[in-house]
């Protein structure tokens, strides 16, 4: 098959959707399919398998900033690319995000009437989506162009189904489990003398880092031989947290610059507990999967997206969101009970196998094939009906 994977986000900026698209593309190529990625980009992309469409601009969304193409004139270029490439499957990620995905859905069937359009919905926002709410009547036109719909988790599917009714096939984000579980990883140096709690990711308010810092103050007061390691990209928000920690003379908190993805597991191997205290707006919790694959017990907030991954008490611990005391108690209890931590970590390693990329990619590919078979069946029925009409004509 010839497959297009469409991302609405700046291909030059790492992020959850782009990481997913990149890995899925490679998995499909490994199975013998021809795959092109269509995405906006601020700079030239040195990859013949990537077709850049549109210049991205920063837009605030769901407590974060996304870089998407907003120029409506990109539609002409999209039309040309689709007509030239003649894709069998067009798989659009965040298919109702302005404006590239909508232009792809607008022109895909004109370019190839037999194309199969698939959409994956990645996001969840607890307070609802104003774009979906106010633009629902307009967006339904393009939503109807989807032959198949995927949500990365049940909460993500429930979220979009509030606005656009239909069946959503649940296929999770995939993970390179082998990368995160390889036995030859050397722990990051300098953290050998303490029990370490690890946080990875951006320092956005919705990620709950402030709650974790307050909770760690209680953990450290109970056990001074503890350390909180915060790994993530530089930002104005992160610098505010750094100033807050320095000004309050809090002990045992270390801010580590963003790491190459393949090196991040070294900090997991140096840690005894992984913590993600997000306040909401999480559809699945990719950082949880990474920690589980790395063999680190997880403490996370009990929000829908995280609860779709973690079963409390079986393969991790879930605590009330935005509750520093309950978070501190859970972290302290796990640090004081290494046997329980090891049992949770072992269960997490077993569970995360369901999210391995080979398994997830095969689920996606099987869905493509099922949709194409359905399309062939419908087309055969139409041909039979037309033949019957002609035969019955006087």
In a shared domain, residues 167 and 182: no
Residue 136 lies in a domain: yes
**Is the bond leading into 93 cis (omega within 30 degrees of zero)?**
no
Q: Is 93 helix (H, G, I), strand (E, B) or coil?
A: strand
Report pLDDT for 195: 98
Q: Please report the pLDDT score of residue 375 as a whole number.
A: 86
| Mean per-residue pLDDT over the chain, rounded | 93
Radius of gyration of the chain (CA): 23
Residues in Cβ contact with 140 at an 8 Å cutoff, skipping those fewer than 6 apart:
164
pLDDT at residue 361, as a whole number:
98
322 and 368 together in one domain = no
Task: For residue 382, tell me if it sits in a domain.
Answer: yes
**What does the alpha-carbon distance between residue 306 and residue 60 come to, in Å, rounded to a whole number?**
23
Statement to judge: residues 155 and 34 lie in one domain: yes
Provide the CATH number for the domain around residue 10.
3.40.50.2000
Q: In this structure, are residues 288 and 310 in contact, taking their beta carbons and an 8 Å threshold?
A: yes
- Residue 60 predicted with pLDDT over 80: no
pLDDT band at 112 (very low <50, low <70, confident <90, very high): very high
**pLDDT tier at 394 (50, 70, 90 boundaries)?**
low
Same domain (yes/no): 267, 148: no
pLDDT for 393 equals 54
Please state which of the ranges 33-37, 39-43, 88-92, 382-386 shows the lowest mean pLDDT. Answer: 382-386
Q: How confident is the model over 175-183, as a mean pLDDT?
A: 95
Domain identity same for 168 and 233: no
**Closest to 310 measured CA to CA, from 341, 339, 280, 289:** 289
Question: Tokens in use for 297?
Answer: 């017990």
Kindly state whether residues 20 and 98 are assigned to the same domain.
Answer: yes
pLDDT at 100: 96
Residue 394 lies in a domain: no
Q: How far apart are CA 279 and CA 295, in angstroms?
A: 24
pLDDT at 124 > cutoff 90:
no
Q: What percent of the chain has pLDDT over 70?
A: 95
Per-residue pLDDT for 128 more than 80?
no
Q: Residue 383 has what pLDDT?
A: 61
Residue 113 has pLDDT above 70, yes or no: yes
For residue 304, give its domain range: 178-354
Please tell me whether residue 252 adopts helix, strand or coil conformation: coil
**Tell me: the pLDDT tens digits for 215-227?**
999 999 999 999 9
**106 and 74 Cβ atoms separated by less than 8 Å:** no
64 with 141, same domain?
yes
- Are both 114 and 29 inside the same structural domain? yes
Quote the CA–CA distance of 120 and 117 in Å, as a whole number. Answer: 10
pLDDT at 388 over 70: no
Q: What number is the average pLDDT over the span 232-255?
A: 95
State the Cα angle at 150 between 145 and 156, rounded to 5°: 115
Q: What is the pLDDT of residue 133?
A: 84
134: in domain:
yes
Q: Are 75 and 191 part of one and the same domain?
A: no
Give residue 260's pLDDT. Answer: 93
243 and 328 belong to one structural domain: yes
Q: Is 214 in the same domain as 145?
A: no
Q: What is the pLDDT of residue 14?
A: 82
In this predicted structure, what is the pLDDT of residue 379? 67
Does 306 lie in the same domain as 193? Answer: yes
Task: Quote the number of domains for the chain.
Answer: 2
Rounded (10°) CA dihedral 106, 172, 125, 155: 110
Burial of 292 (0-12, 13-18, 19+ CB in 10 A): buried
What's the pLDDT tens digit per position in 269-318? Answer: 999 999 999 999 898 899 999 999 999 999 999 999 999 999 999 999 99
* 391 or 256, higher pLDDT: 256
Tell me whether residue 32 is exposed, middle or buried, using C-beta atoms within 10 angstroms of its C-beta: 0 to 12, 13 to 18, 19 or more: exposed
| Mean predicted confidence (pLDDT) in 340-353 | 98
* Domain assignment of residue 118, yes or no: yes
78 is a domain residue: yes
Does residue 13 lie in a domain region? yes
- Residue 308 CA to residue 354 CA, distance in Å, equals 13
Residue 378: pLDDT band (50, 70, 90) is low
Question: Is residue 257 one of the residues assigned to a domain?
Answer: yes
Weakest-pLDDT range from 8-17, 121-130, 138-147: 121-130
> What sign does the CA torsion over 190, 191, 194, 198 have?
positive
Percent of the chain with pLDDT over 90: 84
Cα–Cα distance for residue pair 273/290, rounded to 1 Å: 13
């Amino acid at each position: 098959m010839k497959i297009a994977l469409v991302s609405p986000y700046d291909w030059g900026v790492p992020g959850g959707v782009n990481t997913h698209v990149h890995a899925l593309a490679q998995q499909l190529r490994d199975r013998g399919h021809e795959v092109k990625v269509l995405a906006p980009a601020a700079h030239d992309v040195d990859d013949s398998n990537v077709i850049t469409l549109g210049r991205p601009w920063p837009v605030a969304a769901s407590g974060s900033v996304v870089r998407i193409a907003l120029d409506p004139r990109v539609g002409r270029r999209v039309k040309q690319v689709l007509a030239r490439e003649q894709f069998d499957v067009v798989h659009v990620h965040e298919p109702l995000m302005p404006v590239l995905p909508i232009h792809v859905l607008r022109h895909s069937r004109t370019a190839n009437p037999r194309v199969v359009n698939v959409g994956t919905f990645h996001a969840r926002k607890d307070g609802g989506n104003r774009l979906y709410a106010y633009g629902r009547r307009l967006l339904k036109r393009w939503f109807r162009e989807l032959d198949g719909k995927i949500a990365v988790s049940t909460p993500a599917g429930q979220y979009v189904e509030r606005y656009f009714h239909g069946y959503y096939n649940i296929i999770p984000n995939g993970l390179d489990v082998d990368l995160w579980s390889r036995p030859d990883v050397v722990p990051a140096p300098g953290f050998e003398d303490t029990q370490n709690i690890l946080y990875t990711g951006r320092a956005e308010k919705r990620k709950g880092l402030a709650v974790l810092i307050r909770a760690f103050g209680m953990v450290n007061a109970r056990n001074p031989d503890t350390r909180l390691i915060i790994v993530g990209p530089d930002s104005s928000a992160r610098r505010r947290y750094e100033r807050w920690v320095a000004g309050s003379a809090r002990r045992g908190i270390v801010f580590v610059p963003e790491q190459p993805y393949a090196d991040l597991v070294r900090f997991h191997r140096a840690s005894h507990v992984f913590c993600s205290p997000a306040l909401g707006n999480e559809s699945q919790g990719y950082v949880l999967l990474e920690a589980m694959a790395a063999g680190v017990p997880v403490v996370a907030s009990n929000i829908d997206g995280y609860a779709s991954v973690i079963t409390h008490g079986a393969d991790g611990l879930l605590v009330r969101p935005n509750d520093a005391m309950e978070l501190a108690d859970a972290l302290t209890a796990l640090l004081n009970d290494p046997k329980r931590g090891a049992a949770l970590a072992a269960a997490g390693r077993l569970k995360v196998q369901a999210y391995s990329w080979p398994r997830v990619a095969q689920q996606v590919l099987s869905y493509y094939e099922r949709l194409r078979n359905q399309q062939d069946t419908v087309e055969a029925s139409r041909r039979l009906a037309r033949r019957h009409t002609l035969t019955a004509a006087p």
